[in-house]
Structure 1
Amino acid sequence: MRRRMECHDEEWRQEWHKQWHARWNEKVQGKRRWRRSLRVRLVLMFVVLAMVMAAVFMGGMKRAFSTGWAEAARPLLIDYNDRLVAELGTPPDVARAQALVNRLPITIRIVGPKVNWNSNPGNNDHSGGADHPGNWMHDHEDLFGGEKWFVRPTADGHQVIFGWSPKLWEQAPRVIGWATLGVLLSCVLLAYAYVSRLLRPLIDIREGAQRFGRGEFSQPIPIRRNDDLGDLAQRVNTMADDIQAMLDAKRGLLLALSHELRSPLTRARLNAELLPATPEGQAEREALLRDLNEMRDLISDLLESERLASPHVALQREPVDLAALIRETVAEMPGAQQVHLDLADGLPPHAVDRMRIRLLVRNLLDNALRYSNGAPRPPCVSLRAALDGKRQGVEIEVRDHGPGVDEAQLDRLTEPFYRTDGARARATGGVGLGMYLCRLIAEAHGGELMVRNASPGLQIVVRLV
């Protein structure tokens, strides 16, 4: 009971760490995808380029207005202001000044010995004296250089200071500003849509390369345009067809060889069993039978792996009590009497291929027993419920407490004919097809096989949905 609780606690901690790392990696990869996205970078380049062009255009226009046009408009403004001052009279008449303010979008301030008047009293903080006329025009008093055209003297010693009326800015059409902003945003959205359409073939090629890497050659990359990207997609499709043809040829060769070897291997085994069991040749006879049995198992595994790797694999699914199946498999295996079983009670029957799940459990347990010599504890086989999204599934876990595997080799354990170095070398038996066959069985059932170091030992989890 204590061992079972320790096993559960360790499994819960490892599952929690795995989920946390998965969520963290998903966030990091999402941020990296946006940073590395060619689409986003092209749109940003378009926006920056548009802003730089707008800044250069506005700066150039401002410079043009402040030089050539300013010199041309200065005499006209001075003459117009002198006419307005003449219309005010001598001394300046406040009533006439108020009439001008009401008629024109300007402000008038009169400073002098007799008349001191401001059409916009609320702007006194910005008006100052005659030397500090203030207002908008004061902010741009060096626009035309030389004489201040907006400060005009009168014959009796008064100064009339002109400025822009606040109503001019209050009545300015704000709709134009919002419309301009809307046009800019629309341009950005149109640019993003165009860039997305332009880069769509690259996305198709990336997704197609991922499918081909998984061995899914049934769906080629769509050819959307007759340009360089379309030609690249066509060449990748041709490469995928060649790869599929080579894989099919390899699979056909393995199947043919396996079938052809079965008959002479069966005859050789029969002849070896018919040899006289004399004490002198007993050891050689047993060694010969052992090698023949190993060749038989190798051929059977090759045939089964090629059947499972086929896209048209057929499973004989039936409702199976997985706990009872695991108990039967463990009881049939030699040397498995000390294996610890942690099988959840009350699990409903699961629709699986009975013979292939039995093969999966036998291969995993045989692998665990092989590397448990000298381990502090025997292997542990667990069965528990697992929720994969909205689908109810089960997890079969086989763990040994042996030397484990180098982290750099974990991802390759389920490759065909791969054997690790050191403690998991060929001297311990096997040709590297057992784990590969287990992965194919799990994937044929729509599940997955996960391998990780449990420190100590190796932990293999098969999830079936």
Structure 2
Amino acid sequence: MRRGAHSGRRRWRRSLRVRLVMWFLVLALLMAGVFIFGMQKSFSGGWAEAARPMLTDYADRLVAEIGTPPDVARAQALTQRLPISIRIMGPAVNWDSHPDQKTGPWRYERGLSEDRWFVRPTADGHRIVFGWAPRIWQGAPHAIGWFTLAALLLLVVLVYAAVSRLLRPLIDIREGAERFGRGEFAQPIPVRRRDDLGDLAQRINTMAHDIQGMLDAKRALLLALSHELRSPLTRARLNAELLPDAPEGAAERDALLRDLNEMRDLISDLLESERLASPHAALQREPVDLAALIREVAAELPHGESIALELAADLPPRPLDRTRARLLVRNLLDNALRYSAGAALPPRVLLEAEGTGVRLEVRDFGPGVDDAQLEHLAEPFYRTDSARQRATGGVGLGMYLCRLVAEAHGGSLEVRNAHPGLAIAVRLA
């Protein structure tokens, strides 16, 4: 759960859409700040000086209407008629239209002086201070604030939608590149616009089509060569078996047969690997008792009776391709027996249920391999011995075929050092 949340936050941080929207918001806030600052400076400068005479004259008219000495009833009538507050301070009258008011100039103006337009003296020594009525701040500003917040949120949503639409071709290109990397060329990248991004998507589609053509040509050439080599190899093997059983030529005859058998196995493995690697590979699925298949294959192998089998007895038959499943089990067991020569313990096979699938693990107790080589063991033609000596057997296609068979059945293959030995775990869906 934590790993998923961490990866989600990392994707958001790396998202180009989110960064573009954030930059838009920062730019909008900076522009708004500069505009507000400039307008405040403008109004506090020339505009304030231009408006002061009019405000002073209006305040004098209000003072004249209140009268001398100040008439509280008239002042109260003015506050009811106009959105203002009035405070009278003097020797005879001290009155405040809004005693609990937290707004107004006297709340933030220290040391009221006579040159303020909202502070007007009277002839009898009173001072009348004008301010805004509380209802102005209790009504309109709240509504305007909520409206402004809603407008900003709506603007963010609209900008995000616009940026997402703008960058949608990049997402298509990323998803298409991932498909092409997996060898899935059937679905091209959709070309949504006729601009630079659309041209890029079209060029990548063309490149993918060319790569698919080269891969298909390579597979066709390999399959054709493999098929063509089978016939002369079969004839050569038949001729070698028909050689006279002369004592002086028995060793050479056996060596020739071993070489021919190894070439036959290599061609068969090449053909099978290309069939499984093809996107059109078809499996002939049927219910297979995997435990019984493992016992059957172990009994066929030389020294297979020494393998320790730990097979779950209650596993139901699974829909597998029997031929490919047999190839998978045979390669795993043969590999474990080959590298268990001289080991203290024989190979061990573990078969158990795992979720809705099964897990097959084959472990030997041999020398194992270097950790740096583990990720390469399932690659084609990879062998841990650099000299590629015949004594170790095989040509490096066994683990590759096992991985292809597991993936063709919707599973996976994992190789790890078991200390001692090597453990190969196959999960089948």
* Interval of TM-score (by shorter of Structure 1 and Structure 2): over 0.9
- Structure 2 residue 231 is the aligned partner of structure 1 residue 263: yes
1:410 and 1:452 in contact (8 A); partners too: yes
* Deviation sequence 1:305-327 (CA, Å, 0-9, x none): 12222233232222111111100
Distance across 1 between alignment mates of 2:61 and 2:84: 15
- Aligned residue for 1:280? 248
- Aligned residue for 1:199? 167
- Structure 2 residue 287 is the aligned partner of structure 1 residue 319: yes
- SS of equivalent residue, structure 1 residue 161: strand
What aligned pairs does 1:60-79 form with structure 2 within 5 A after superposition? 60-79=38-57
Distance across 2 between alignment mates of 1:56 and 1:405: 67
Paired letter, 1:378: P
- Structure 2 residue 209 is the aligned partner of structure 1 residue 231: no
- Aligned residue for 1:440? 404
**1:140, CA displacement in angstroms?**
6.4
- Structure 2 residue 349 is the aligned partner of structure 1 residue 381: yes
Structure 1 pair 179–427 and aligned structure 2 pair: CA distance change class (3 A) = farther
- SS of equivalent residue, structure 1 residue 337: helix
Unpaired segments of 5 or more residues in structure 1?
Answer: 1-22, 127-134
Distance across 2 between alignment mates of 1:423 and 1:376: 26
1:309 and 1:440 in contact (8 A); partners too: yes
Paired letter, 1:34: W
C-alpha RMSD over aligned residues: 2.3
- Aligned residue for 1:418? 382
Structure 1 pair 425–278 and aligned structure 2 pair: CA distance change class (3 A) = closer
- Aligned residue for 1:132? none
Structure 1 pair 234–283 and aligned structure 2 pair: CA distance change class (3 A) = same
Paired letter, 2:52: R
Deviates more, 1:186-195 or 1:365-374: 365-374
Structure 1 pair 140–121 and aligned structure 2 pair: CA distance change class (3 A) = closer
- Structure 2 residue 50 is the aligned partner of structure 1 residue 57: no
Distance across 2 between alignment mates of 1:282 and 1:443: 43
**1:149, CA displacement in angstroms?**
1.4
- Aligned residue for 1:405? 369
- Aligned residue for 1:371? 339
Paired letter, 1:263: S
**1:422, CA displacement in angstroms?**
6.8
Structure 1 pair 427–109 and aligned structure 2 pair: CA distance change class (3 A) = farther
- Structure 2 residue 19 is the aligned partner of structure 1 residue 41: yes
Structure 1 pair 429–222 and aligned structure 2 pair: CA distance change class (3 A) = same
Paired letter, 2:357: G
2:76 and 2:97 in contact (8 A); partners too: yes
- Aligned residue for 1:428? 392
Distance across 1 between alignment mates of 2:163 and 2:47: 41
Distance across 1 between alignment mates of 2:10 and 2:215: 34
- Structure 2 residue 307 is the aligned partner of structure 1 residue 344: no
**1:214, CA displacement in angstroms?**
0.8
Distance across 1 between alignment mates of 2:164 and 2:380: 40
2:328 and 2:402 in contact (8 A); partners too: yes
- Structure 2 residue 225 is the aligned partner of structure 1 residue 247: no
Distance across 1 between alignment mates of 2:369 and 2:104: 79
- SS of equivalent residue, structure 1 residue 396: strand
Structure 1 pair 234–446 and aligned structure 2 pair: CA distance change class (3 A) = same
**1:247, CA displacement in angstroms?**
0.9
- SS of equivalent residue, structure 2 residue 334: helix
Distance across 1 between alignment mates of 2:307 and 2:5: 40
Paired letter, 2:21: V
2:148 pairs, out of 180, 205, 208, with 180
* Deviation sequence 1:245-282 (CA, Å, 0-9, x none): 11111111111111111122122222222333344333
- Aligned residue for 1:4? none
**1:421, CA displacement in angstroms?**
4.6
Paired letter, 1:51: L
Paired letter, 2:63: V
Distance across 2 between alignment mates of 1:428 and 1:284: 20
2:413 and 2:427 in contact (8 A); partners too: yes
Structure 1 pair 375–46 and aligned structure 2 pair: CA distance change class (3 A) = farther
1:403 and 1:423 in contact (8 A); partners too: no
**1:115, CA displacement in angstroms?**
1.6
- Structure 2 residue 299 is the aligned partner of structure 1 residue 331: yes
**1:24, CA displacement in angstroms?**
5.4
Paired letter, 1:257: L
1:141 and 1:148 in contact (8 A); partners too: no
2:114 and 2:120 in contact (8 A); partners too: no
Paired letter, 2:36: M
2:88 pairs, out of 78, 89, 110, with 110
* Deviation sequence 1:410-432 (CA, Å, 0-9, x none): 33322211223579987522211
2:128 pairs, out of 144, 160, 170, with 160
TM normalised by structure 2 equals 0.93
Paired letter, 2:380: P
Structure 1 pair 322–179 and aligned structure 2 pair: CA distance change class (3 A) = same
Paired letter, 2:100: G
* Deviation sequence 1:82-139 (CA, Å, 0-9, x none): 121222222212222222222222222222122222222224xx7xxxxxxxx53246
Unpaired segments of 5 or more residues in structure 2?
Answer: none
Distance across 1 between alignment mates of 2:78 and 2:294: 103
Paired letter, 2:99: P
Percent of residue pairs bearing the same amino acid type? 72
How many residue pairs end up in the alignment?
427
Distance across 1 between alignment mates of 2:426 and 2:192: 40
Structure 1 pair 171–236 and aligned structure 2 pair: CA distance change class (3 A) = closer
* Deviation sequence 1:393-443 (CA, Å, 0-9, x none): 222221223333334433332221122357998752221111111122122
Distance across 1 between alignment mates of 2:382 and 2:281: 23
Deviates more, 1:276-285 or 1:182-191: 276-285
